[in-house]
Amino acid sequence: MTTPPQFTFDSASLDKYRPPTLQQSGNLQALFKSGRIAIGTTLSYPSRHVAKTIAVTGADWCWIDAEHVAWSQDLLIECIQIIIHESGGKMIPIVRVPSKTAFDYMAWCLDAGAGGLIIPHLDTVEEMKAVIAACRFPPIGHRSFPPFSYLPGVTDTTPEGESVFSLANKHVALIPQIESRVGIKNLEAIMQMNEISAFMIGIGDLRLDMGLSLAFDGDEPEFVAATQKATRVSKECDLPILGVGFGTKMVKERIDAGYRFIVCCMDIHTLAYGTITAVGEARAAAEEHMKGIHGLPN
């Protein structure tokens, strides 16, 4: 059996972002404002077992993708709660909802304790206003009181002077995903809005919208101008960027570009490429051993 790698789960520094009870959302807004580089992973497999495994890996946060994965509502809610409870509140689940108008999913995910929502294909200030209204309790928005996850005296523990509603407004992060020419054009106006904690550039869809090949990066003038604008707006509005950074080189490049929440791996890639690598190494070792030691054909 392979000896597992050693890692340090920085629980002391993460404790400050835990909610008062594990039925509430973690303080993702504070984590964004801290300036800390937060390393995340993903959950794209709609599986309780995978969620349990992901929850104990030591990542700061988990991106659960409900845009490109057909989650059942029940299983999505369960896996949000599994991430929270199996990690003891140290890993914050962030859900990319199916669409910018999936207000029912937004409510279900927040009621389950998600610390943040990624809103895909966000293009305009008006669209962001609708999201804010749906995801903030009064007086900011019109998010509805969740009667089936609210147990007075049990799940409503809060610091003095706060309620579960005011605390949710302060903790939950709303993260627009900009992935079109229209979104890039409106970037400054969108990011100047209150209630936005960070933003994401959907690089793949942005490149497709520009008529470019699918890639994680590129040197085409229009694409470079868009990414440079994102970096500038991130600094001007003091809003971190969330996105992928595979490998040490890309992680460093992303940090220089204003990224502070970095997805270092995806569950599907880890399973597929990890298995491909292990199978290839084992096959090569077996063939070399059989041919070199025993003189047998491979």
Domain ranges, ordered by start, for the chain: 11-265
For residue 277, the model assigns a pLDDT of 93
Residues of the chain with pLDDT under 70: 1-14, 293-298
Q: Which of 176, 178, 216 lies closest to 193 in space, CA to CA?
A: 176
Cis peptide before 139 (omega within 30 of 0): yes
Q: Which of 136, 138, 165 lies closest to 149 in space, CA to CA?
A: 165
For residue 245, the model assigns a pLDDT of 87
Global model pTM greater than 0.75? yes
Tokens coding 53: 């495994």
Beta strands 38-43 and 259-263 are parallel
For residue 9, the model assigns a pLDDT of 42
For residue 194, the model assigns a pLDDT of 92
Q: What is the pLDDT of residues 65-118, one digit of tens each?
A: 999 999 999 999 999 999 999 999 999 999 999 999 999 999 999 999 999 999
For residue 127, the model assigns a pLDDT of 98
For residue 140, the model assigns a pLDDT of 97
Helix (H, G, I), strand (E, B) or coil at 201: strand
Give 293's contacts (C-beta < 8 A, 6+ positions apart): none
Third-level CATH fold of 11-265: TIM Barrel (3.20.20)
Count Cβ atoms within 10 A of the Cβ of residue 279 and give its class: 0-12 exposed, 13-18 middle, 19 or more buried: exposed
For residue 7, the model assigns a pLDDT of 40
Tokens coding 30: 């504070």
Complete DSSP assignment for 195-253: TB--EEE-HHHHHHHTTPPP-S----HHHHHHHHHHHHHHHHHT--EEEE--HHHHHHH
> Are 26 and 92 contacting, i.e. CB atoms less than 8 angstroms apart?
yes
For residue 291, the model assigns a pLDDT of 82
For residue 11, the model assigns a pLDDT of 45
For residue 6, the model assigns a pLDDT of 44
For residue 146, the model assigns a pLDDT of 87
Looking up tokens 């929502």 gives: 117
For residue 5, the model assigns a pLDDT of 43
